[in-house]
Amino acid sequence: MSNEQLAASVELGVETRAVEFKGAGSTGAKDFVATVARACIALANQRDGGHVVIGVVDNDPGGGSGGLDAEQLAEWLNADTVLSKINTYADPPLVLRIERRELPSGAPVVVIEVAEFDQVPVLAARDYGSKITKGQLYTRSMAKPESTPYHSQNELREVLQLATEKQLQSFLRTARQAGLRVEPEVQDQDLYQAEITAFLADTITAGLPAVPRLQFSIRPKQYDAERVPYESLAAVVGDNVVRKRGWPFPWFQNPQPGAEWVAETQLQLHPETWSMHRSGQFVELHALPMDVEADRDGFGGDGPYLPIWMPVLTIAEAAIFASRLQTSIGLSEEFEFVVSLHGARGWELVAADPTRSGFHQRYAFTSESWSHTATFAAGTGEEEAKEIAAEVARELLLRFGWNGVTLDIVRGIHQRGNM
């Protein structure tokens, strides 16, 4: 939930099924934490989850009394403490994301984003007075925006349908792993590929699909054409840009609207183009550098030359961005992290570091292209993403014939590149 979306909810003046307001309170106040936990459980038991806003008075959301003081703000931004306290009441544990936001008045609040349940509905795990009851299933009422243990047939049907869908998805994954042919997975890949193909054919890409390049596709494993609201596409990218080395990944300055995506191309120092689609798929093309020379003491051929840090660090940045994107739009979903190299036949690895010796033999890419898909489990953090990136980068470097490359070498490049 962005500041703009929060402002719209406050301006509306009432809670919704997906948004619950809670006034200011401390994480040390057990009764207050219990009411927040009840709201989170109820939101988790509906499709797409929802948000609990701490610091907004529910009967006067636009009033001047809204906001948290410095101590309360620090308490609710301590994710470890908040997750521990809230999940004491939840079985199975909730998947939450906690962020600071501001009311139109400038007063700080905390927004807790609650993901829908993963496999089975969430029940209350313990009692606390009249606030929450152990074993109770809480939902958001369709009649009025409140968290309730009393369910209409439609509310209960919604929970059961969502649980049934998730169990079916789990069965299909198990069937695929067992070697059974299940067509929907291929269909998802085809739909994602159709988006990539249409984007690469668009004039906004400025010819970059024709040059030697690294290419990334980051996407939820299951295709949903309307996963991300169109008006949120640019913010989803801009809020998660990775700035580890000074140059951002991706370059984000002036994204342009398309029919079902937003995109941006820049052709300066590091030419690249990217698109963010309503399906949740992010596509990025990163041109290989054309101005790198051979190492002075290396064992190279005629080039062109690829500095080893370029694919290693770019893949790491893309993986960190993938982790952030997953947190933004698919807290409880698996993501695919697809890395490919195109048009690189004959390119040679070089150290491109005047403080280090060059390679002692020629390492050259002998294929036209290469692709590797890694899976991000639900809730993959940035450190886990970097480890996945190291494994992907090593797989790529092996394709240059550098059989001696290890994960420790790749991690060392990460460290030197401030990853």
C-alpha triplet 185, 178, 170: angle, nearest 5°: 55
Percent share of the chain, pLDDT over 90: 46
Amino acid 140: pLDDT: 86
How far is the C-alpha of 109 from the C-alpha of 99, rounded, in Å?
9
Amino acid 330: pLDDT: 75
Determine the average pLDDT of the residues in 227-250.
92
Amino acid 35: pLDDT: 93
Q: What is the pLDDT of residues 140-183, one digit of tens each?
A: 887 777 888 887 777 788 888 888 887 887 777 777 778 776 65
* Locus of tokens 């307001």: 21
> Phi first, then psi: what are they for 216, rounded to 5°?
-125, 140
Higher pLDDT, 269 or 324: 324
Smallest CA-to-CA distance from 417 within 340, 323, 311, 322 is with 311
Question: In which band, very low, low, confident or very high, does the pLDDT at 315 lie, cut at 50, 70 and 90?
Answer: very high
How far is the C-alpha of 326 from the C-alpha of 315, rounded, in Å?
16
Judge whether 42 and 148 are in contact, CB under 8 Å. Answer: yes
Smallest CA-to-CA distance from 374 within 211, 216, 176 is with 216
Helices (H), 178-308: 183-200, 233-238
Q: What is the pLDDT of residues 96-120, one digit of tens each?
A: 989 999 888 888 999 999 988 888 8
Give the type of residue at 170.
S
CATH assignment of 3-167, among 3.90.1150.10, 3.30.950.30, 3.30.750.24, 1.10.3720.10? 3.30.950.30
Amino acid 173: pLDDT: 74
Amino acid 243: pLDDT: 92
Region for residue 145 given its phi and psi (left: phi exceeds 0; alpha: psi -120 to 50; beta: otherwise): beta
Q: What string of DSSP letters covers 384-400?
A: HHHHHHHHHHHHHHHTT
User: Domain coordinates of the chain in residue numbers?
Assistant: 3-167, 184-416
Kindly report the average pLDDT of the chain as a whole number.
Answer: 87
Helix (H) or strand (E) holding 374: strand 369-376
Determine the average pLDDT of the residues in 382-386.
93
**What do you get for the CA distance between the two ends of the chain, in Å?**
28
Determine the average pLDDT of the residues in 24-40.
92
How far is the C-alpha of 133 from the C-alpha of 228, rounded, in Å?
35
Amino acid 262: pLDDT: 94
Q: What is the pLDDT of residues 336-362, one digit of tens each?
A: 999 999 999 999 998 877 777 777 788
Partnered with residue 132 across adjacent β-strands are: 128
Higher pLDDT, 72 or 187: 72
